[in-house]
Structure formats: structure tokens, C-alpha cells
């Protein structure tokens, strides 16, 4: 049943008919966010911080015994807890009074409001995507094209590191410079400059830890094209399940380019290189999504405020807010090649 039109109904109609699609499109506009959503890796949580306990070593007790052997049951501390701060994002929707006055049916409201929400969604997705890949919060020298927004996500540039990036030593509250935290270091190659199948395979193998192999590879368009050039000769039509074929048809249908390497999709996201041009080299990430989550706060998951009229403007404004963070709770199973350029 149509909702009677009035100024107060602008919020109701937007929240009921426009906001659900807004949320879906945020996840459908980013290849990594889409993969996390599809695999159930977008988790809802609460609390003062995001905390993740983990086992970092085996128990020194246990094993074989015989007969009346005295069994050692002494407790041992084999766990640590990493903690991440909540990060907040917003987008605003502002509609001028003249435009509102021209709309006089609920159906028309939903149609014209959606265009304003589309712009807000694109802005929010861009901010999330940049920080998802390129942010090292608080770093003094994040590198050309990368960000050091202390208020932004603890992105993959922070999470997938051995501490070599300025500001990336401490992740989840654990200091990688301490030998006791070597388990918290990712696989890292800053010396290989030429992309060859052999070099990729060697690094892929280095990322296989305890039977956990990379489930996805991400790079910007430049590095993806380097790989495409290596494998196109083997499978120019991309129809067969061999190196270079399209492995994830659902992602391809959404416009997310991907090819096959070691039975693993290699996907494109130009934000992997921060704000640098997609026509220049950037890092190539080898990720195991089993250990990657996007944790979203249960009290602020794309919340929309009611539209309000500023005291000194003929307009209506609403805010859409989100709070969460990227959590990689086993960096050792992740890897990045930072120097591939030819």
C-alpha cells in the first residue's frame, strides 16, 4: 500500500524502499567486499573493541604414554588476544527544497531519492575500498598513493605485512618486531620484480601454511595484465579450466575481472595500489579468506538518520553511518609481492 506523501514520509520511504538496495550495492560494488559477504565473512559483533583470541603454539603436554605413567596436566599459556578499534564511516544525502516540492507521490519519491543515495553509496564504497587495501593508520610514511588515516580501517597494507611498511609493525595490538610475535608476520616479497609463472608459484607455496593455501589473489589492473600476458597464449578463449581461464563466473558477471592461477581466482581491484594509477605497478596479494573477516558493529550497520531541515537552508539532509573494521586473525597465511613491475 502506498505511503501518503508528506515531508515526514521522506525518511520512511527512503528507509523502506531505498536503503536496502543501498546496502546491497555497497557489497556488490567492491570485489573483496562481495567475496566476504558471499562466503559469510561479514560478521556482526559488539563491545568496546573487536577482540579475537587465537592459539599461537602447541601445548607442551600431551602425547603417548604407557600403563601407570604420571601424566603432565600442567596448564600452559598458548593463546593470545588481538584487539582492533572500531572505525566509523558516513555518507550524507542532501536534497534541495525545490526538488522535493516537485515530487508528489510516494513512487516518485523512491525513484528520485534513489539517485541521491546512489551518489552517497559510490562515495562511501570508494572510501571503504581505499582504506580496505591501502590504509596504514597513523603511519608517518605510508608510501606514495597510500593512506595513513588513523580513523580508517586497518587495511590489508597493514594486515598483510612483515612489519616492513612504516607503521605496520603493530597490528591488532600485537608488535611484529618482537620475536615472540613472529607468528603475526605475513609472507612478504619485496625483491622479485619480474612476473613469471615460476616466481608466482614459489611465492604461492610460501603462503601455504598448515595446509591452508591462498583462496584468492588480488592486484590492480597493471599487475593483472602482466599475468594475462603470460597465460593468454595457453587459453586465449578462457573457456577451459586451465591457467588463465575465468574461474569465478559470478564475479565476472558483476564486472569483476578474474583469471585462474593454481586453481585460485586472481581478481582485479585498482584500490590495491591505493590512489596510484592502475597503469602502474602495485602490490599483488595472496590471501586466505578463511582467516579474514569484516566485523560490523551491531549498533551501527548502515544506519540512516531521519531527514532534517537545516535552519538556514531550503534542503533536507540525512546521514548514513557504518562502524566496523577489517580483521585478519592469521597473517602468517597471507602474503604480498610488492615489487612486481614487468
Domain-embedded: residue 129: yes
Domain-embedded: residue 76: no
First-to-last alpha carbon distance for the chain, in angstroms, is 60
> What is the rounded CA–CA span in Å between residue 215 and residue 251?
14
> What is the rounded CA–CA span in Å between residue 245 and residue 242?
6
| Cα angle, residue 156 at apex, residues 154 and 159 outer, rounded to 5° | 70
pLDDT value, residue 121? 95
Per-residue pLDDT of the chain (342 residues), as tens digits, is 343 344 568 888 889 989 999 999 999 999 999 999 999 999 999 999 999 887 666 667 788 888 888 888 777 666 789 999 999 999 999 988 888 788 767 777 788 889 999 999 999 999 999 999 999 898 888 888 888 889 999 999 999 999 887 778 999 999 999 988 899 999 999 999 999 999 999 999 999 998 899 999 999 999 999 999 888 766 544 433 455 555 677 888 888 888 888 889 999 999 999 988 888 899 999 999 999 999 999 999 999 999 998 888 888 899 999 999 999 999 999 999 999 999
Domain-embedded: residue 73: no
Collapsing DSSP states into helix, strand and coil, what is residue 40? coil
pLDDT value, residue 6? 45
Strands 216-219 and 335-337: unpaired
Give the contacts of 207 (CB within 8 A, at least 6 positions apart).
Answer: 187, 213, 214, 286, 288, 333, 334, 335
CB-side neighbour CA atoms (13 Å) of 237 = 2
pLDDT value, residue 279? 82
CB 77 within 8 A of CB 53: no
Number of domains in the chain: 1
CB 183 within 8 A of CB 242: no
CB-side neighbour CA atoms (13 Å) of 119 = 9
- Domain containing 175 equals 9-50+82-337
Domain-embedded: residue 244: yes
Domain-embedded: residue 61: no
CB 266 within 8 A of CB 260: yes
> What is the rounded CA–CA span in Å between residue 8 and residue 44?
31
CB 31 within 8 A of CB 256: yes
pTM of whole model > 0.75? Answer: yes
Integer-rounded Cα radius of gyration of the chain: 24
Domain-embedded: residue 31: yes
Domain-embedded: residue 282: yes
> What is the rounded CA–CA span in Å between residue 38 and residue 220?
22
CB-side neighbour CA atoms (13 Å) of 268 = 21
Domain-embedded: residue 271: yes
Give the contacts of 293 (CB within 8 A, at least 6 positions apart).
Answer: 36, 41, 42, 43, 326, 327, 329
Amino acid at each position: 500500500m502506498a505511503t501518503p506523501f508528506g515531508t515526514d514520509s521522506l525518511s520512511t520511504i527512503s528507509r523502506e524502499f531505498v536503503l536496502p538496495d543501498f546496502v546491497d550495492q555497497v557489497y556488490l560494488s567492491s570485489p573483496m567486499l562481495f567475496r566476504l559477504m558471499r562466503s559469510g565473512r561479514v560478521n556482526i559483533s559488539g563491545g568496546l573493541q573487536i577482540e579475537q583470541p587465537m592459539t599461537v603454539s602447541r601445548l607442551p603436554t600431551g602425547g603417548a604414554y604407557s600403563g601407570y605413567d604420571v601424566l603432565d596436566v600442567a596448564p600452559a599459556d598458548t593463546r593470545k588476544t588481538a584487539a582492533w578499534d572500531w572505525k566509523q564511516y558516513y555518507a550524507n544525502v542532501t536534497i534541495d527544497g525545490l526538488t522535493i516540492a516537485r515530487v508528489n507521490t510516494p513512487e516518485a519519491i523512491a525513484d528520485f531519492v534513489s539517485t541521491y543515495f546512489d551518489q552517497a553509496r559510490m562515495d562511501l564504497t570508494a572510501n571503504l575500498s581505499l582504506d580496505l587495501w591501502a590504509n596504514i593508520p597513523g603511519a608517518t610514511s605510508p608510501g606514495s598513493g597510500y593512506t595513513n588515516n588513523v580513523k580508517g580501517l586497518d587495511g590489508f597494507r597493514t594486515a598483510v605485512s612483515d612489519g616492513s611498511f612504516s607503521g605496520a609493525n603493530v597490528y591488532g595490538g600485537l608488535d611484529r618486531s618482537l620475536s615472540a610475535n613472529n607468528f603475526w608476520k605475513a609472507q612478504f616479497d619485496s625483491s622479485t620484480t619480474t612476473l613469471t609463472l615460476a616466481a608466482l608459484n614459489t611465492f604461492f607455496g610460501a603462503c601455504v601454511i598448515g595446509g591452508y593455501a591462498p583462496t584468492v589473489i588480488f592486484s590492480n589492473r597493471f599487475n593483472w595484465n602482466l599475468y594475462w600476458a603470460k597465460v593468454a597464449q595457453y587459453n586465449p578463449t578462457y573457456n577451459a579450466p586451465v591457467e588463465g581461464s575465468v574461474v569465478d563466473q559470478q564475479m565476472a558477471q558483476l564486472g569483476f575481472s578474474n583469471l585462474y592461477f593454481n586453481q585460485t581466482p586472481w581478481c582485479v581491484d585498482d584500490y590495491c595500489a591505493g590512489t596510484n594509477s592502475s597503469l602502474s605497478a602495485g602490490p599483488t596479494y595472496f590471501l586466505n579468506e578463511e582467516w579474514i573477516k569484516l566485523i560490523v558493529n551491531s549498533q551501527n550497520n548502515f544506519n540512516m538518520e531521519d531527514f532534517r531541515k537545516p535552519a538556514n537552508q531550503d534542503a533536507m539532509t540525512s546521514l548514513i553511518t557504518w562502524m566496523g573494521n577489517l580483521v585478519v586473525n592469521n597473517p602468517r597465511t597471507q602474503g604480498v609481492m610488492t615489487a612486481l613491475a614487468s
